[in-house]
Amino acid sequence: MLTVEVHQLDIMQLENYFSHKDGQYVFTRQQASHFAKIIAGDFNPIHDEDAKRFCVPGDLLFAVLLAKAGISQKMRVTFAGMISDNLGLLFREDSEGNLEVIDANDKLYLTMERGGDSKLDETLAAQVAENYVKFSGMNFPHIMVPLMEECGMMINRAPACDV
């Protein structure tokens, strides 16, 4: 069994994994890959800096969203698209407190439906995000891959990167 060390996440550290310019959140390949590998323990090749089909990890976007928008009693997050590096993202909130993560062309990448009381507490957000990414990073190699093998399934039969 593979053992991966996952590092503690705190809000000040989270600020190292994105930049905030002109009201937009931007993630570089280096920032996103480092978060995936070091913080989340996620070794999916799509998060490698040099991957042809590079994608910012959803865990990173989720952690930033929790830190900046807060935590609600009820939350439902739906990822709607892959985020490339250096793409400017906006967090848009509707009148009911639900959030959308969009780019400048209104392309949707994530929705977060919220209900109940909300709390903007960066320490709590860091704790929730840290526990989420610890599970999420290990989910694919230790839960999903064995389950897919057992069922004779694959996510994508075409290789996503050169190995």
CA 29 – CA 47 distance, rounded (Å): 8
Give whole-number Cα distances, 108 to 56, 61, 90, 105, in Å. 15, 13, 10, 9
Burial of residue 68, with CB atoms counted within 10 A of its CB: 0-12 exposed, 13-18 middle, 19 or more buried:
middle
Mutual angle of helices 58-69 and 122-139, in 10-degree steps? 170
Domain-located, residue 158:
no
Q: Find out whether 19 and 26 touch, Cβ atoms under 8 Å.
A: yes
Q: Find out whether 59 and 78 touch, Cβ atoms under 8 Å.
A: no
- The residue behind tokens 């694919």 is 140
- State the pTM of this model: 0.76
Q: What is the number of structural domains in the chain?
A: 1
Range of the domain at 42: 11-150
pLDDT at residue 21, as a whole number: 87
Domain-located, residue 105:
yes
pLDDT at residue 59, as a whole number: 87
Q: Find out whether 32 and 17 touch, Cβ atoms under 8 Å.
A: yes
pLDDT at residue 137, as a whole number: 59
- Per-10-residue mean pLDDT for the chain, 163 residues long? 47 82 94 88 83 91 90 91 94 93 96 92 82 68 72 60 41
Domain-located, residue 71:
yes
CA 35 – CA 17 distance, rounded (Å): 7
Domain-located, residue 42:
yes
Domain-located, residue 53:
yes
Domain-located, residue 34:
yes
CA 19 – CA 100 distance, rounded (Å): 18
Domain-located, residue 156:
no
Q: Find out whether 76 and 112 touch, Cβ atoms under 8 Å.
A: yes
The conformation of residue 118, written as its DSSP 8-state character, comes to: E
Domain-located, residue 160:
no
Q: 69: domain CATH number?
A: 3.10.129
Give whole-number Cα distances, 28 to 88, 101, 105, 109, 116, in Å. 10, 17, 19, 17, 34
